[in-house]
Structure 1
Amino acid sequence: MNKNEYIEVLNRRIKKISREEKKDILNKYESHFISGYKDKKNDDEMIRDIGVPIKISNEINVMTALHDVEKEKNIKDIFNVIFSIMGLSFFNFIFIGFSLFAILLFLPFILAYFIAISVMICSPVILFVMGIINGFDTISINEVFEMIKGVFLGLILTLVGYYFMKNFFKFLTFYLKWNLNIFKREGI
């Protein structure tokens, strides 16, 4: 592989990055080759020193995806970084694959959690509609207390869910950064 092929592989494999940033990255690697030529090195020696372009492009894609997740936490960016990390090594593929499978197994419980919270918080509206349809005299004090209890429980569960998701995203970002650092250190 020569310099032009190396740069072309990087250019094709680096994704989801602005043209200016991609151009800067490609220029940086091209300058590595130029400085290597000044030191009387051939292309193979420089590629051994710099690293394999596929691994470097995977690493750049992961760093870009991690930056996007830190900047804006949305499902698309999270899945983008997860699949980018999965591409770094076979262990990551297996570990994250099993984690995604576990999330799919718990998906019915997660959906039930969100539905239950919605019903609890909307229980005053439900009770009011029942009062309009059946008459307000059919609503007992017990139902009013149950409605108040449901609203408070729904609000508490909403806060618990919010802080759980917030800390889950922090943990996920920490794990992915840690994984990327291990990948860089070991040169997997």
Structure 2
Amino acid sequence: MNKKQFIKKLEKNLSGLPESEIKDIILDMEEYYDVGIERGRTEKELLDSLGNPRNLARHIKLESYIKKAEESASASNITKAVLTSIGLSFFNLIFMLPPVAIAASLLGVLFAVSITISAAGISGVAAGLFYPLYSQYLTFTINQAILIFGFLGTGCLGALFFIGNIFLAKLFYRAIVRYMKFNLGIIKGRRQQDGPQT
């Protein structure tokens, strides 16, 4: 493989990144190549040191997605980063996907529970307000104020639980980003050790 083929494969595998970012990466690769040639390295040595263009593109994409996930917290950014990280190695598939999936499922359940508690509180307050209309059909009596304030407290508890879940989701998000950065550092270190010594 020569420089032109390497750049073409790299560019193809970088699809999904913004065009401006791809152009910057290609310019960096060409500069790396030119500086290496000036220092007396052969084309083969330079291309071997860069490794497989497909794997290099995955690493670059992961770095980009992690950076975007740090700058702007969103589900799409973290999903892209996690999926790219999983694609890098079998290790990530086994040690990253299950914990992330379980934690995301638990967060979903916690949010559903908090919404359910809030909805129960709201419906209970409504039932308390309309208690005089249907109290004649009940075989027991309930103090209307206790009913309203009890369910108002339940609704507030659900709202507080929801807010707590938001903070928990942010912590989870940051933990995933940190883990992916740590993981990328390990992979980069391994890649540098596996590559030819320069």
Equivalence for 1:162: 166
Equivalence for 2:49: 49
Within a 5 Å distance, the mapping from 1:11-160 to structure 2 comes to 11-103=11-103, 106=106, 109-110=109-110, 112-120=112-120, 123-124=121-122, 127-128=125-126, 131-132=129-130, 135=133, 140-160=144-164
Q: 2:96 aligns to what SS in structure 1?
A: helix
**How far is 1:184 from its partner?**
1.1
Question: Which amino acid in the other structure matches residue 126 of structure 2?
Answer: F
**Residues 125 and 151, structure 2, Cα contact 8 Å, conserved in 1:** yes
Cα distance change on mapping 1:185 and 1:6 into 2, 3 Å: same
Q: 1:135 aligns to what SS in structure 2?
A: helix
Unaligned runs of at least 5 residues, structure 1: none
Question: Which amino acid in the other structure matches residue 102 of structure 2?
Answer: A
**Residues 16 and 64, structure 1, Cα contact 8 Å, conserved in 2:** no
**Residues 86 and 96, structure 1, Cα contact 8 Å, conserved in 2:** yes
- Quick one: percent identity of the two aligned structures? 22
Equivalence for 2:186: 182
Cα distance change on mapping 1:98 and 1:75 into 2, 3 Å: same
Inter-partner Cα distance in structure 1 for 2:159 and 2:185: 39
Question: Which amino acid in the other structure matches residue 14 of structure 1?
Answer: L
Inter-partner Cα distance in structure 1 for 2:173 and 2:122: 32
Unaligned runs of at least 5 residues, structure 2: 137-142
TM-score, normalised to structure 1, is 0.83
Equivalence for 1:9: 9
Larger relative CO (CA 8 A, sep 6+): 1 or 2?
Answer: 2
Inter-partner Cα distance in structure 2 for 1:70 and 1:16: 18
Return 111-120 or 43-52, whichever deviates more: 111-120
**How far is 1:60 from its partner?**
0.8
**Residues 85 and 176, structure 1, Cα contact 8 Å, conserved in 2:** yes
**How far is 1:16 from its partner?**
3.1
Return 150-159 or 171-180, whichever deviates more: 150-159
